[in-house]
Structure 1
Amino acid sequence: MSELALKSLSLSHFRSHKKGALQCDGRPVALFGPNGAGKTNILEAVSLFSPGRGIRRASAEEMTRRPEAIGWKISGLLQSGQTAYEIDIRSENGAARQVQMDGKAAPQVQLGRLARVLWLIPSMDRLWIEGAEGRRRFLDRMTLSFFPDHAEHSLAYEKAMRQRNRLLKEQLNDAHWYMALEKQMAESGARIHAARQQTVERLSLAQGQAETAFPTAELELIQSEGSMPESREDLAEALAESRFRDIAAGRSLVGPHRTDMLGTYLSKGVPAKDCSTGEQKALLVSLILANARALAEDLGAPPLLLLDEVAAHLDPNRRAALYDEICTLGAQAWMTGTERSLFDALGARAQYFEVTDTDGISQLSEHA
């Protein structure tokens, strides 16, 4: 199986890290230290080696170290298969981040073709019981890992929808404007829905084929109102038929932006929203691992995994099972915890770095 790993990572004026560097060998990375020391900031830096706004969905300006606020830079050596890429990601004076690959400017989408990055962070622990937006974002992140062009289709859809919503709010009735925008929404929206459906099917297959300590999460896509028109033609027709209703609402009420993802603890037949906190966490871990296994099978290399405070709500047996699955998969997982003892079950299978804070500046030190 091919390797996908960050072999080095350096930070400059990024969040709490004025300067920091790690040398990695492809094994899982365990980051430990007190709360607030800057562990999650490292995971956020790694998440920027993929398209999008990272694990916190923050702006480039929000990531700069204070009080200097001069901008930031992240550099890394990304091993993807047999090739290593020197990647620099930076932002100056709050400007949008810029990506360079081997010294040449590159679009963010190119990162998605080199590396797949999956993450599980504490804010996702309430995924099953909060609003549909978070579940859509979680689904789209998994979908993007299988279909790198999913981001482009999503951006195209959102751009056309914003323009259509502007017409709706102004209560304009120009059919030609609506038809042009609805054609764009239908084209992109049908692709978005198809990719999401294929992702759900792929995750179901990956869970069914695995022997794992984590429960199977059965997923279902639903619409907040009615059913999702699946074809481009059906979606265009549904948008046209919904115009007068949409004008009254001042927004588009039909399309993939109204999709929700329901989860069920399959062996118990219990909706995920009604499960215990520990069961909800286990279902999320199960999906992340299924996503990783499917990518390893499809692409020949497991993704990078970012697991922030992953030990929370996992008992020692499931924690050990998680580490075993990560190592069997051969994935470079970046994990955080307050104590090194949380990673004892990993033993020599991981690299260990302590993260501490001195006067508001994060410090990194490797431990044997």
Structure 2
Amino acid sequence: MTRLCLTDLTLSHFRSHVAVRLELDGRPVAIFGPNGAGKTNILEAISMLSPGRGLRRAAAEDIARKPEALGWRVGAVLTSLHQIHEIDTRSQAGGPRSVTIDGKSAPQVALGRIARMQWLVPSMDRLWIEGAEGRRRFLDRMVLSFEPGHADAVLTYEKAMRERNRLLKDQVRDSGWYGALEAQMAQAGAVIQRNRSQVLDRLAAAQDGAETAFPSAELAITMPDADAPEGEAALKQALADGRARDLAAGRTLTGPHRADLAAIYSAKAVPAAQCSTGEQKALLISLILANARALAQDFGAPPILLLDEVAAHLDAGRRAALYDEICALGAQAFMTGTGPELFADLGDRAQYFSVTEADGISRVEPRTAP
């Protein structure tokens, strides 16, 4: 089977971990221990092997273990399809984060070309009932798993929008100052729109006909304005036409940064926001699994999954079904929970590690199957 997995992971001065090395064999990984022991820190470290600020969106200087503040490092050996890569990412004493791949300096976006990841953390349990920003971020993370270049489009768009917003707040009215920025926003915004739409189509196809214990969702991208512009030319014209309104607001009110992700629980025809807590969690897991199935076809292997406290709000039946689906996909999933009994249904299909904490230092030890 073609694989995407970590076979070696090392952490140095990463949050509560002084020094950790995990030898991995590609099977799912169950990490258990009491709250606050440092389980999520391991998942966050792995998430730094992908583009962006990781699953906590923390600044590089906030990750280094205190009080030493020496900086931090995450190293890994990655099997990606038929190649093996050595990855190193670190930040020295509050400096910027650096990345090397196979001994050569590389931009963060290069990580997305060799390692695809998707994650689910407890804060996302409220995804469907909180603001649109979290749902956009969730959608863009799925897009990134297919299109690593999506990060460049988002960065270009956001940088130009920040400059435009500065002009708006300063009440600059000279149209010459806006033209170049709006052209950049329109070009990058059209790419963002296209990438998001294509990924929703892929997710829909991955859900159709899939036999799974998790409910399917009908997804759609919505905008505050019914006649929101689509495409580069329409975006550019809408930004120009909206200057007066944006000047009054002091910010840009048109564009893909206003998008929202809507979901309907297909079997019940109920919006996700109106579903029970357990149903909302099941819908999230369903989308993660659909993402993995689609990526297995598109990239050639399912993504590495980071599932923090994944057993929360799942009954025993769905928990066992989740493990079966992960194993059937052939995905390397890193899962955390408070006790080994939560992973009993995995049996010998997984590796197990316990995490404990004493005097502010986390310790990780391999364990046998529960």
Task: State the TM-score bracket (shorter-chain normalisation).
Answer: over 0.9
What is the percent sequence identity of the aligned residues? 64
Match of 1:139 in 2: 139
Give distance in 1, aligned partners of 2:148 and 2:72.
Answer: 26
Report 1:1-368 matches (<5 A): 1-368=1-368
Q: Flag as ranges the 4+ runs of structure 1 deviating above 6 A.
A: none
1:84-135 CA-to-partner distances (Å, cap 9, x unmatched) read 1111111111112111111111110000000100000000000000000000
* Residues 129-173 of structure 1: CA deviation (Å, up to 9, x unaligned): 000000000000001111111000000000111111111111111
1:352 & 1:231 partners in 2: Cα distance? 48
Whether the aligned pair in 2 keeps the contact of 1:28 and 1:351 (CA below 8 Å) is yes
Letter in 1 for 2:289: L
1:326 positional shift: 0.3
Distance 2:177 2:96 in 1: 31
**Structure 2 unaligned spans of 5+:** none
Distance 2:227 2:197 in 1: 14
Partner Cα separation in structure 2 for residue 150 and residue 74 of structure 1 = 24
Q: Which amino acid aligns with 1:63?
A: I
Give the distance between the partners of 1:187 and 1:227, measured in 2 at CA. 19
**AA in 2 matched with 1:182:** E
Structure 1 Cα separation of the partners of residues 162 and 197 of structure 2: 24
- How many corresponding residue pairs? 368
In structure 2, how many angstroms separate the alpha carbons of the residues matched to 1:210 and 1:95?
Answer: 46
RMSD: 0.8
TM-score between the two structures when normalised by the length of structure 1 = 0.99
Once the 2 structures are TM-superposed, how far is the Cα of residue 217 of structure 1 from its aligned partner?
Answer: 1.1
Where does structure 1 lack aligned partners over 5 or more consecutive residues? none
Instruction: Please identify, of 231-240 and 172-181, the stretch whose mean Cα deviation from structure 2 is larger.
Output: 172-181
Q: Deviation of residue 339 (structure 1)?
A: 0.4
Q: Tell me which amino acid in the other structure corresponds to 1:310.
A: V
* Offset of residue 226 of structure 1: 3.0
TM-score (structure 2 length as normaliser): 0.98
CA contact (8 A) 1:33 1:39 kept: yes
AA matched with 1:263:
A
Amino acid corresponding to residue 119 of structure 1 in structure 2: W
**C-alpha separation in 2, matches of 1:180 and 1:100:** 34
The one-letter amino acid of 2:296's match is: A
